[in-house]
Chain A
Amino acid sequence: MSVDYLLHESPVGFGIFALKMQSDTVGARLKEVQDAHTDLGRFGKMVQLVSFAPFQGASQALENANDVSEGIMSEYLRTVLESNLPTTTGKKAKNKVVLGVGDRNLAGSIKQAFPGIECETGETSELVADLLRGLRLHAEKLLKGLQTGDVSRAQLGLGHAYSRAKVKFSVQKNDNHII
């Protein structure tokens, strides 16, 4: 199945990319095909940014990170998908749109909410896995309005917030002893 769109979940926001050039699945493991994903110049010709929806602050980022981690489609992601993917219901319905998503669970949640969207994940299609790897590698250059260091700063903040919530870490106490 060919892929039309890709979803990239970055610590700064969601990015939706359209696939301009379909490479066939047969040669996915060839060295030339692989190199195309590593080279920004060539990869930039394969995908095109449709929309970048940044998070409004750290708390929203954390909520979305938690949802993405659990495979739940957050309200924010829902609106982002709704406004950026072509409508597939109603009279104007075209063929189904195929969206490349990283995780199977999230793909399931998206399919449930949008009947017109088919999902391919990195597990079902090596092509999607490769494309998502490319997006991860070049995210900072492909997402508009970002500067170098933005993604890593967001990762640092989000990593701390996410992990602290996991272990119920508080800065005041060294540890919560159970006596």
Chain B
Amino acid sequence: MGAKGGQRVVIEPHRHPGVFVARGKEDLLVTKNLTPGEAVYGEKRISVETPTAVSGDGAVNGDTAPVATKTEYRVWNPFRSKLAAGILGGLEDIHMKPGSKVLYLGAASGTSVSHVADIVGPTGTVFAVEFSHRSGRDLINMATHRTNVIPIIEDARHPLKYRMLVSMVDCIFADVAQPDQARIVGLNAHQFLKVGGGVVVSIKANCIDSTAAPEAVFAREVVKLREERIKPKEQLTLEPFERDHAMVVGVYQRSSS
């Protein structure tokens, strides 16, 4: 696969380390594929040749032709991943970068998780928690190919049940779509999140309260996060990719002063 008809595509680093933008006929959000040659869920892949710099002042000694290595990127669809939508929407800080440890709550089949795994790279770790057995199987399958993903099939409401499997993390990403999700995030933060670590929560207004106005629901959730000692930093709606969704980013502060 790759860019259609071999047209020129230029990869540029995104503002967030580990995320890239492919500039071709249209601009696409991409991540560097951790397992080149493999797609996770049928997403498009783009291969780009990066000529490796030849040591010395130039390849005068004829026998060493500059070797071109291919780097593969995977297209990240903002209509399928809320984190991608949030990044395109202009989140200031996603709190994950190469080397980060991320606790991902509501991992589902692991499509978005695979992109987070690309971002944190081989030196990072993604602890992917999903309760549903059906999607859990897909998640485990995906994790067999990506060794920086640790699949955890368990209820995120009970972080103590998987306390042996998780270390302290730099960031918690939550896409659980449960009425008590602020509490779920808080429980996990108290247990596993480093002081000063990031919390990125996707809120679907309908899942919290389908009768209230979305803005009111978001405001209430932010208050609940504050009570869990998470200081909100930014909030943004996921329009036009999702309707009545908001992304809230906060920082965990354990000390009360």
Contact = CB atoms under 8 A, between A and B. Distances in A.
Interface of A: 9-11, 29-31, 33-34, 38, 64-65, 68-70, 102-103, 122, 129-130, 133, 136-137, 139, 151-152, 155-156, 158-160, 162-164, 166-167, 169, 171, 174-175
A34 B164 contact: no
Contacts of B194: 38, 137
A70 B195 CA distance: 28
B166 A155 contact: yes
A30 B136 contact: no
A163 B167 contact: no
Interface residues of B, number: 34
A159 B255 contact: no
A11 B195 contact: no
Interface of B: 125, 127, 133, 136-137, 139-141, 143-144, 147, 150-154, 160-168, 190-192, 194-195, 254-257
B140 A160 contact: yes
B137 A156 contact: no
B163 to A, nearest CB: 6
A8 to B, nearest CB: 10
Contacts of A64: 164
27 contacts: A29-B257, A31-B257, A38-B195, A65-B165, A69-B160, A69-B162, A69-B164, A103-B160, A103-B163, A122-B191, A133-B191, A136-B167, A137-B167, A152-B167, A155-B165, A156-B147, A159-B127, A159-B165, A160-B143, A160-B151, A163-B140, A163-B153, A163-B154, A166-B136, A167-B137, A167-B153, A169-B140
A137 B137 contact: no
Given A160-B143, A166-B154, A68 B255 contact: no
